[in-house]
Structure 1
């Protein structure tokens, strides 16, 4: 396993957690699920209703971050900081572009916009 630069410290922590789970025989817990969507951190792939969806590395990291923070509204600045670790301008529309691409690939209903604040995905029903 490895991380490519740039990476965020949260990604390193997630990778370490995945390695520890694997070492303890709990590798099957490296999947996140919400609304018919399954994100497999080990295989670095996403399935929507059983079908694989091709995502770029940035789209995968952004989707994973959304899925790790369900029910929260995340600002564009916060998302850009996580995704690029300060390498992009905060006023840039790069996050909007990635969200647009994710919506095109996964459907418009998954990621919601909170006008003037940011983006988020809803918490799955219990």
Structure 2
């Protein structure tokens, strides 16, 4: 496995991702007024599920392919965070958990970190930053 997470933790993360995606699908069909929240949940937790599946397959993929796929999935997590922030921005009572401004802030921060980090991971292809053994910048 490419990542340092043990197999049991990865499987548990994948199962939790499946559960929350299923709950998002349930919301989509049985609570039509909650569809924006359902979309945010499906995007974010679907990406969590994809991270788990990628980590389970990580040893079979090259480092560059693994990093770029992980970057794409991480960007999807950022989109899920942004969707959550957008839901809170448009309907202040949609989440009904604390101040709506906090949900918007979490959505923006998630978009910046997950989206930006995922983009950087895709561009770099898993290559580390810094100076290599010969003194050249990477």
TM over 0.5: no
Higher strand proportion (structure 1 or 2): 1
TM-score by length of 1: 0.30
TM-score by length of 2: 0.29
